[in-house]
A = this chain, B = another copy of it.
Amino acid sequence: MGLTIGVDIGGTKIAAGVVDEAGTILETSKVPTPPTPEGVVDALAEAVRTVSAQHPVEAVGIGAAGYVDDKRATVLFAPNIAWRHEALKDKVEQRVGLPVVVENDANAAAWGEYRFGAGQGHDDVVCITLGTGLGGGIVIGGKLHRGRFGVAAEFGHIRVVPDGLLCGCGSQGCWEQYASGRALVRYAQQRAAATPENAEILLALGDGTTPGIQGRHISQAARQGDPVSVDAFRELARWAGAGLADLASLFDPSAFIVGGGVSDEGDLVLDPIRKSFRRWLVGGKWRPHAQVLAAQLGGEAGLVGAADLARQG
B162 contacts A165, C-beta separation under 8 Å = no
The answer to whether A191 touches B279 (Cβ under 8 A) is yes
Shortest CB-to-CB span from A12 to chain B, Å, is 23
Q: Which of A273-289 contact B (CB under 8 A)?
A: 275, 278-288
Q: Name 27 A/B residue pairs within 8 A (Cβ), A-sorted.
A: A67-B286, A124-B148, A147-B251, A147-B252, A147-B253, A148-B253, A151-B252, A153-B250, A154-B249, A154-B250, A157-B282, A158-B249, A161-B164, A162-B162, A162-B242, A165-B172, A166-B166, A169-B282, A171-B280, A190-B279, A191-B279, A194-B278, A194-B279, A194-B280, A194-B281, A195-B278, A250-B251
Q: Of all chain B residues, which has the CB nearest A197?
A: B278
Q: Interface digits, A225-267 against B, CB 8 Å rule (1 contact, 0 not)? A: 0000000000000000010011101111110000000000000
User: In the assembled complex, which residues on chain B have CB atoms less than 8 Å from the CB atom of A147?
Assistant: 124, 251-253
Contact yes or no, B157 A249, CB < 8 A: yes
Q: Inside 8 A of A191's CB, which chain B residues have their CB? A: 279
> Are A193 and B165 in contact, with the CB atoms below 8 A?
no
Cβ contacts under 8 Å, A246 to chain B? 158-159
CB interface residues, A 191-215, toward B, < 8 Å = 191, 193-195
Query: How many residues in A have their beta carbons less than 8 Å from beta carbons of B?
Result: 63
Given contacts A151-B287, A191-B279, A282-B169, whether A161 and B158 have CB atoms under 8 Å apart is: no
Which residue of chain B has its CB nearest to the CB of A138? B250
Q: How far is the CA of A151 from the CA of B249 in the complex (A)?
A: 7
* Majority secondary structure, A binding face: loop
Contacts beyond the supplied A122-B148, A163-B164, A170-B282: 7 A-B pairs with Cβ under 8 Å:
A149-B287, A154-B283, A157-B282, A159-B160, A170-B193, A194-B278, A194-B279
Q: Is A150 an interface residue (CB 8 A)?
A: yes
A76 contacts the other chain (CB 8 A): yes
Q: What residues of B have a CB within 8 angstroms of the CB of A1 in the complex?
A: none
Rounded to whole angstroms, the CA-CA distance of A290 and B281 in the bound complex is 29
Inter-chain CA distance A21–B118, complex, in Å, is: 43
Chain B residues closer than 8 Å to A123, beta-carbon distance: 148
- Give, as a whole number of angstroms, the nearest-CB distance from A174 to chain B: 7
Contact A283-B163, Cβ < 8 Å, known A150-B252, A170-B193, A252-B146: no
Closest CB-CB distance, A285 to chain B, in whole Å?
8
Q: Please give me the residue from chain B that is nearest to A161 by CB atom.
A: B163
Please name the 8 residue pairs, one residue from A and one from B, whose CB atoms are nearest each other, closest first.
A147-B252, A77-B286, A152-B252, A148-B254, A157-B282, A154-B249, A124-B148, A158-B246
